Each structure stands twice: as structure tokens, then as C-alpha cells.
Amino acid sequence: MCNCYTIPIHRILVVSAAVAVSIAVAGCGARAPGSFSSGDVDQAKSKLGAALDAWKEGKTPADLRGLKPSVYVSDQDWSAGKKLAEFRIDRVEKTTGPNPNIVVVLTLDEAKGKATKKQVVYSVTTAPAITIARTDIN
């Protein structure tokens, strides 16, 4: 007769299930697509606000690339040299990716003292690099 130690199959199943549940609860791995935490949103709003303040101060997107860490901005009006008079962060929308979309109302100074308001969306990434990309709302 063999003096081998045997483990009942039900113990193996219970331990395996416990390990699987522990891993799931601990949140190992990447977050599900479309999810972001309130910390991500707060950081994204902060970075976007700082970039838009820089625009109001007359800085260019190229100026922001020289910061540490670098900030990469894609905004057609800013790149075209239009002046930002005011902005208001309106709301945050969920996306299908890991980054929040932030809806902003821009007030641009046009020629002859005329102001134009636009509602736009910025997709903001805070890691591994800070990127801010604008799309217009149709």
C-alpha cells in the first residue's frame, strides 16, 4: 500500500475558488474598458484647466510640450492662433476607453471684438503622458 498523501478533490475546488475570488476582489489586472476613477477625473479636469489657463495667458500648445512633464494638446482653434477669453468645464462623459471625455464651453475672441461660444469635448489622458485632444460637438 502507498503511503502517499492525498487531498480530497473538494478541498482543491474550495481553495481554487477562494483564490479566484480573492484575485477578482483585489482588482488585479487592468480596469475594464470604459471605467475610470474619480481620481482620474479630478486629475484630468485639473490638467485640462491648467492647459486652458495657459491658452488664456497667450501660450501656445508648443509651450506646453516644454513643461515637465510634457503636455501634448491638439486643438484646432488654439493652433490657429485664436484667443481664448473664457472657458467653463461643463460635465464629464464616460467613454469606451479608459479616459474621461470632458465637455467644455469655450468663449473665443474673434476679430472686431466679437465673441464666439463653442461647446467642445476634450479627451484627456494623464498617464503615461498628458494628452489633451479636442473634438467638436455637432
pLDDT bucket at 35, cuts 50 / 70 / 90: very low
Residue 76 located in a structural domain: yes
Three cell numbers, residue 39? 481620481
Contact 85, 112 (CB under 8 A): no
Give the residue with greater pLDDT, 88 vs 37: 88
What are the DSSP calls for 13-33, one per residue?
HHHHHHHHHHHHHHT-SPPPT
Domain that includes residue 107, residue range:
38-136
What pLDDT is attached to residue 19?
34
pLDDT exceeds cutoff 60 at 33: no
pLDDT exceeds cutoff 90 at 5: no
Residue 96 located in a structural domain: yes
How many of the other CB atoms lie within 10 Å of CB of 118?
Answer: 14
Residue 126 located in a structural domain: yes
pLDDT exceeds cutoff 80 at 26: no
pLDDT > 70: what percent of the chain? 70
Residue 77 located in a structural domain: yes
- CATH code (residue 109): 3.10.450
Residue 51 located in a structural domain: yes
Residue 9 located in a structural domain: no
Residue 111 located in a structural domain: yes
Q: Work out how many domains the chain is built from and give that number.
A: 1
Q: How far is CA 64 from CA 50, 68, 119, in A?
A: 10, 9, 23
How many of the other CB atoms lie within 10 Å of CB of 131?
Answer: 18
Per the prediction, the chain carries an average pLDDT of 78
Could you identify the residue written with the cell 486652458?
Answer: 52
pLDDT exceeds cutoff 90 at 122: yes
Residue 32 located in a structural domain: no
Within the chain, residue ranges assigned H as helices are 9-26, 38-56, 61-65, 76-79
